[in-house]
């Protein structure tokens, strides 16, 4: 079995036993020290100097997205959402759920965000912007500099879901002027699913303290902010994943640190895309994250390809949903994968497409 999914990913053996080897109780000085050490190293990888400003939740990434919406906005804000697919839509759904006033900047499939699209919103009183830096549903990577420039010149708070970009593409939270960065354990960090993280800027921590309305109890930041100073959380965390994280951060360090890690993933995505092209497979021309490559099928059902890879080869790739379900699959480049694994996948795909008589899309 091989997993080419974007998260959970094909695990590294270094994290496999972290769970079993570690003590499971967590209200201890030792666990606090582990948490503080992990978060400090995470801050460095994210490019932020925030102090006591990284919170973590026992929830999937969507929980952290919801937590940011609940805790980071004044009631009367005017919010912009960059919406290029199902994760952009998720921010819209959460904002609507909590009755916030927002405008969805819809990015049509096949296109990307340009400075011209955003400049239409200059000087219109918007106060915050939400973006999924990598719209994982289709593999689209936005240009953070365009967004960062817009937010700086219009004085907006900037909230970035970097869940499927962090640790695959470059990211520099403080340089971009990001006020909250959201990440999740099962994506770039390559850990089990169950933990998500929010890094807050200094000005966002102050803003949170000004917001008097409480919208959610489990995700109330004031309680997490107070607890994290001593390396603790208000509720029981997914202890095992914190231990996995320690091993994973060691692994990244052992490989030379952030830059070689990112270069390794970029190299794998380049390798896969070149080989795929040579074999006649196609991928979209919009800007892609290094984390994954969407493969486009014109004459056969992509969903069928997903199913047959699973059944006949024990290979898992990401299917797509909605309009792209029949047209695209997504192949991840993170996790414990090597060039020979991508060769194996492409050989299997070639064999499937030629031999299996997959039904043409109607
Ligand atoms: C995976 C992902 C999430 C989180 O999804 P969960 O299933 O809640 O972990 C959020 N945003 C993006 C861009 C993602 O890729």
Q: Is the pLDDT of residue 360 over 70?
A: no
Give the pair of three-digit tokens for residue 207. 């803003």
**Residue 114 burial (10 A CB sphere; 0-12, 13-18, 19+):** exposed
Ligand 1 in contact with 83 (CB < 6 A)?
no
Ligand 1 in contact with 60 (CB < 6 A)?
yes
* The three-state (H, E, C) secondary structure of 287-354, written as one string: CECCCEEEEECCCCCHHHHHHHHHHHHCEEEEECCHHHCCCEEEEECCCCCCHHHHHHHHHHHHHHHH
Q: Give me Rg for the CA atoms of the chain.
A: 21
Instruction: Give the number of C-alpha atoms closer than 13 A to the C-alpha of residue 360, restricted to the C-beta side.
Output: 3
In this predicted structure, which of 42-51, 256-265, 292-301, 347-356 has the lowest mean pLDDT?
347-356
Atom 3 (ligand 1): residue with closest C-alpha? Answer: 61
Ligand 1 in contact with 61 (CB < 6 A)?
yes
Distance 187 CA to ligand 1 centre (A): 8
At 22 the pLDDT is 83
At 357 the pLDDT is 55
Q: Is the pLDDT of residue 208 over 90?
A: yes
At 17 the pLDDT is 82
Q: Report the nearest atom of ligand 1 relative to the CA of 132.
A: 13
Is the Cα torsion angle 39, 64, 51, 133 positive or negative in sign? positive
Are the C-beta atoms of 198 and 18 separated by less than 8 Å?
no
pLDDT tens-digit map of 280-323: 999 999 999 999 999 999 888 999 999 999 999 999 999 999 98
For 249, the enclosing helix (H) or strand (E) is helix 239-254
pLDDT tens-digit map of 48-91: 998 889 999 999 999 999 999 999 999 999 999 999 999 999 99
Average pLDDT rounded to a whole number, residues 173-180: 98
- In this structure, the strands spanning 195-200 and 54-58 are antiparallel
At 335 the pLDDT is 96
Distance 199 CA to ligand 1 centre (A): 16
What mean pLDDT is reported for the chain? 95
At 16 the pLDDT is 86
Ligand 1 in contact with 164 (CB < 6 A)?
yes
At 358 the pLDDT is 55
**Dihedrals φ, ψ of 240, to 5°?**
-60, -35
At 60 the pLDDT is 97
Pocket test for ligand 1, best of 92, 107, 184, 321 (most atoms within 8 A of CB): 184
At 18 the pLDDT is 86
Are the C-beta atoms of 103 and 80 separated by less than 8 Å?
yes
How does DSSP assign 23-90, residue by residue? Answer: ----SSHHHHHHHHHHHHHHHHHHT---SS-EEEEES-HHHHHHHHHHHH--TT-EEEEEESSHHHHH
In the block, tokens 């109890």 appear at 217
Q: Report the nearest atom of ligand 1 relative to the CA of 7.
A: 1
**Residue 210 burial (10 A CB sphere; 0-12, 13-18, 19+):** exposed
Average pLDDT rounded to a whole number, residues 115-136: 98
Task: Give, as one character, the DSSP assignment of residue 282.
Answer: B
Q: Report the nearest atom of ligand 1 relative to the CA of 196.
A: 9
Ligand 1 in contact with 62 (CB < 6 A)?
yes
Atom 4 (ligand 1): residue with closest C-alpha? Answer: 61
């Amino acid at each position: 079995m091989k997993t080419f999914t974007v998260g959970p990913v094909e695990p590294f053996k270094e994290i496999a036993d972290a769970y079993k080897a570690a003590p499971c109780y967590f209200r201890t000085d030792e666990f606090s020290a582990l948490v503080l050490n992990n978060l400090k190293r995470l801050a460095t990888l994210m490019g932020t100097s925030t102090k006591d400003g990284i919170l973590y939740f026992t929830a999937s990434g969507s929980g952290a997205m919801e937590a940011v919406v609940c805790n980071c906005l004044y009631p009367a804000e005017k919010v912009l959402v960059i919406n290029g697919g199902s994760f952009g839509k998720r921010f819209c759904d959460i904002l609507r759920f909590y009755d916030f006033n927002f405008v969805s900047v819809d990015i049509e499939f096949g296109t990307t965000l340009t400075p011209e699209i955003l400049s239409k919103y200059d000087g219109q009183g918007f106060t915050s912007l939400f973006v999924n830096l990598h719209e994982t549903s289709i593999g689209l990577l936005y240009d953070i500099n365009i967004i960062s420039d817009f937010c700086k010149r219009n004085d907006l708070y900037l909230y970035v879901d970097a869940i499927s970009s962090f640790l695959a593409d470059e990211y520099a939270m403080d340089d971009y002027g990001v006020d909250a960065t959201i990440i999740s354990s099962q994506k770039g960090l390559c850990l089990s699913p169950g933990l998500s993280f929010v890094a807050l800027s200094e000005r966002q921590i102050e803003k949170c303290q000004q917001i008097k309305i409480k919208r959610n109890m489990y995700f109330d930041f004031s309680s997490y902010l107070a607890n994290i100073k001593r390396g603790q959380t208000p509720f029981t965390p997914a202890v095992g994943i914190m231990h996995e994280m320690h091993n994973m951060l060691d692994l990244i360090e052992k490989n030379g640190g952030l830059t070689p890690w990112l270069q390794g993933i970029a190299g794998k995505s380049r390798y896969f895309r070149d080989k795929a092209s040579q074999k006649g497979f196609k991928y979209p021309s919009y800007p892609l994250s290094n984390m994954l490559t969407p493969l486009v099928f014109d004459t056969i059902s992509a969903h069928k390809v997903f199913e047959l890879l699973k059944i006949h080869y024990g290979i898992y790739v990401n299917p797509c949903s909605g309009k792209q379900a029949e047209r695209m699959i997504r192949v991840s480049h993170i996790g414990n994968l090597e060039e020979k694994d991508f060769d194996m996948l492409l050989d299997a795909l070639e064999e499937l497409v030629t031999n299996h008589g997959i039904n043409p899309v109607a």
